[in-house]
Amino acid sequence: MRLLFVILILLSGCASTTLNTDSDVTRQQLLLLPNFIANSMAVDAYKEAIRNAEKNNKLNNNIEELERVTTISNKLIDEVSIFREDAKEWKWEINVEDSEEVNAYCMPGGKIMVYSGLIKKVNATDDELAAVIGHEISHALREHGRERMSTALVQQVGIIGFAAYIAEKGIYTDAAIQAVALGTTLFFALPNSREQEREADKIGLELTARAGYNPMAAVSLWRKMSELSEIKMPEFLSTHPSNENRIKDLSEQAKKIKPLYEANKNK
């Protein structure tokens, strides 16, 4: 009986995680993995990343970089309730890791990490940093990580097996989460789909504009990163393919959202 109950819960797991805003992102998503499980996995994986960075003396060593990233991130976080009301109450964390990688991420529940390579290698402006961080926050707002986890787990064990696992562990208990490795693997190893990337582009541009950052900076940033990729493919571009079509789409969307930026640029 309990297994049947869990199956019914999982089968009802299709919804749009964000409100309909100027970005017009309303796709129904497959969200079979319970939210608290995805978030717990993300917290454990993020703690592991923090521990490793601290162990290697690579966490938040440059106070100016940390303050800059924190200021930009907080301005973006101030606008997240436009897209989903609960996001403002997430336990947001912001850190900078010393790394050659040109990369950043935001895990489910608002766990932000920016690699110093993103700041230094492309000489990113505040608007350009906001474009990347806003894009990554948008993935978290849309729960793309949870969506990827749901798809992967169901593909591995099927809906019955997945439901049995959840039922056995106890869907309402903390004991359901034991696997740091599982959360890390599913979050980092599975690339976002093209549709998820388009959604993060659209919401990210709107988020940056509402926070007072120029959405056209996304275009200049992608051009910089494209030039860098001719030397060595940045990690960010390995899962976020940069091409002229995408730059064209970003430019067109940025122009549409420009009135929001004009209204908020003096924040």
pLDDT, one tens digit per residue, over 9-58 is 444 456 789 999 999 999 998 887 778 878 888 888 899 999 999 999 99
For 263, list phi and psi in degrees, rounded to 5.
-75, -15
| Stated pTM of the model | 0.83
Domain ranges of the chain: 36-145+178-264
Does pLDDT of 177 surpass 70? Answer: no
In 70-119, which ranges are E strands? 93-97, 104-107, 111-115
d(CA 65, CA 174): 36
pLDDT in tens, 184-222: 555 555 567 888 999 999 999 999 999 999 999 999 998
Please indicate whether residue 136 is annotated as part of the active site.
yes
- All residues at 6 or more sequence positions from 2 whose CB lies less than 8 Å from its CB, including other chains: 167
| Lookup: tokens for 47 | 């703690």
Which of 136, 143, 197, 206 is the catalytic position?
136
Note the pLDDT of residue 114. Answer: 98
